Amino acid sequence: YLYLATSGSDTSKENMQRKLEKQLYLALEWDREDIAKDFVKNAADLNINLRELFLLALRRNRTAFVELFLDHDSSLMDIFNEPSELRELYMDTDEMKEYHGLLKECDTPLRVIHEIIQQFVEDRFEITDILSPASMTPNSELINENDDEVSICCGRKQYQKPPDNDYNSNVQMERLTTDTVTHINVEKELFLWSIIAGRRDLALLLWSRGKNKIYVALIAKLIYQIHAHRKNDNSYYQSADEFENLAIQILDKLNQTNDAL
């Protein structure tokens, strides 16, 4: 077993904690969430800090580990204790590379990021809609929700990036409001990041934990279509179709429920 690779005779608390953390990092490296499960479940008793491990799981696209942390009530507010943590995730994406200088010097990184993403999607929907309090409450039931925001168009549209000078000036004007962690729903932000970063499985996980699934699925579909066009990669259309099918399945279930009443 993995834990044998780091087992030893030193039982001091400090050394034992380092060994436990090393085991967790090895489990993450080898994608063995089954081994990490007990450690994560008892992290508080074992005095293990999961923050860096969770961030690494996001960057390494270890969806099973992210789910493990979320299922065991790991506090996202503790992990993302300031907006700069989310900014760093976004800055790792291809879409944000040319804006590194702007994001590093900005005092309101998330607001600027939202404006950049809004430029990507043009006027097809408002980014603020997906981040509104009603759009994504964790752990809602699939069928018992008010999913009536289905007016988003679903056809493939071509995307043209606005000129760089207009683009950057539009973004820079949005530095007026200070980001504070208390006003950020981290799970919503992570869902949006997972779509932008092309993390399909992670996006599906976060989508499954949220509310207003039809609306959010169609937003994911549109962003994936934009990815497909901009990157000339048809694999993104598969993800777009997948989210559209999920929205259709929910609509079908809602219709069946209404017919039965």
pLDDT digits (tens, 9 = 90+) for 203-239: 999 999 888 889 889 889 999 998 898 889 999 999 9
20 shares its domain with 69:
yes
Same-domain check for residues 135 and 171: yes
- Which backbone phi and psi does 10 adopt, to 5 degrees? -75, 115
pLDDT given for residue 63 in this prediction: 94
3-class secondary structure, 7: coil
244, 238, 194: which is closest to 219 by C-alpha?
Answer: 244
Structure tokens at 241: 């179709």
CA angle 230, 210, 115 (to 5 degrees): 40
**For position 179, what pLDDT does the model report?**
52
Give the 3-state secondary structure of residue 208: helix
Q: What is the pLDDT of residues 175-184, one digit of tens each?
A: 334 455 446 7
- Are 134 and 245 members of one domain? yes
Domain check: are 66 and 85 in the same one?
Answer: no
The type of residue at 99 is Y
Q: According to the model, what pLDDT value does residue 241 have?
A: 96
Which residues have a Cβ under 8 Å from the Cβ of 139 and sit 6 or more positions away? 209
How far apart (Å, rounded) are the C-alpha atoms in residues 210 and 259?
25
Cα(110)–Cα(126) distance, integer angstroms: 15
Each residue's pLDDT tens digit, 85-113: 888 898 888 878 888 888 877 778 888 88
Helix (H) or strand (E) run with residue 80 in it: none
pLDDT, position 134: 52
pLDDT at 162: 36
In this prediction, the residues of the chain whose per-residue pLDDT falls under 70 are 1-11, 13, 44-47, 73-74, 130, 132-183, 261
Q: What is the pLDDT of residue 257?
A: 82
pLDDT of the residue at 183: 65
Domain co-membership, 94 together with 2 = no
H or E element, residue 247: helix 235-260
Report how far residue 21's alpha carbon sits from residue 149's, in angstroms, rounded to the nearest whole number.
44
157, 215: one domain: yes
Taking a C-beta distance cutoff of 8 angstroms, is the pair 68, 36 a contact?
yes
Q: In this predicted structure, what is the pLDDT of residue 225?
A: 92
* pLDDT at residue 1, as a whole number: 43
For residues 88 and 67, membership in a common domain is answered with: no
Q: Where is the domain boundary, 74, 103, 134?
A: 74
